[in-house]
Chain A
């Protein structure tokens, strides 16, 4: 299985900040990397697919980049509703492994 490692595991930030979450794959996955947001007690929600494509309905303050083994999710001008846990997932091969998650908390 391909291993996905996110950093940091947790992050504190303030409303209006810009934050970046990193995801690293154990081997090259081209651009087959997806990002999800999960709020407590809720199902995950797709934010970004294929490394940089914004899912319909997702605010443009969310952006993704990267290819090969290193990827980033950037959230610009943090809003109160953005405080959640974020997961990356590779879709290069089966099983489509997830990262361990990054919890974004309010400072």
Chain B
């Protein structure tokens, strides 16, 4: 059974750093892209970026490029989303999700078929 298990809720202050995680199991972690999606309180879904754990190839949305870093450690089947300096506007639920494709991922495959349970990040002074 494919599972993505995310790290727990975080409460941070503005300016602090943070790294949240997403551990995959039940499939070949290095063979499928994983993405991150933001959902601000009461708002819709925003595509942040994706990473291919096999070679760490990463693609970012222009809206998030430079604001976050997506990485993966294939030795422990875990993807990460990190911030170097949090802002109050980073308060949101963050989901990781798998794409059902690896390597050359064609347009018809670039959807999210399995999702993590979400990590709530609260940034407040």
* A interface residue numbers (CB < 8 A to B): 1, 30-32, 34, 36, 38, 43-46, 49-50, 55, 87, 89, 91-101
* Interface residues in B, total, Cβ within 8 A: 27
Q: Roughly how many angstroms separate A99 CA and B44 CA in the complex, as a whole number?
A: 8
**Given A43-B117, A87-B45, A100-B44: A92 and B107 interface contact (C-beta under 8 Å):** yes
CB distance from A58 to the nearest CB of B (A): 11
Distance of A8 Cα from B11 Cα, bound (Å)? 35
**B53 at the binding interface (Cβ < 8 Å):** no
- Contact A46 B111, beta carbon cutoff 8 Å: yes
Cβ–Cβ contact B62 & A50, under 8 A:
no
Determine the chain A residues whose CB is within 8 A of the CB of B62 once the complex forms.
1, 95
**Cβ of B52 < 8 Å from any Cβ of A?**
no
A97: chain B residues within 8 A (beta carbon):
47
Contact A44 B61 (CB under 8 A): no
CA distance A95 to B48 in the complex (A): 7
The one of A31, A44, A45 that contacts B108, using a Cβ cutoff of 8 Å: A31
Q: Establish whether residues A49 and B111, one from each chain, have CB atoms under 8 Å apart when the complex forms.
A: yes
Interface 0/1 of B98-116, CB less than 8 Å to A: 0000000001111111011
Bound CA span A34–B95, Å: 17
A95 B47 Cβ-Cβ under 8 A: yes
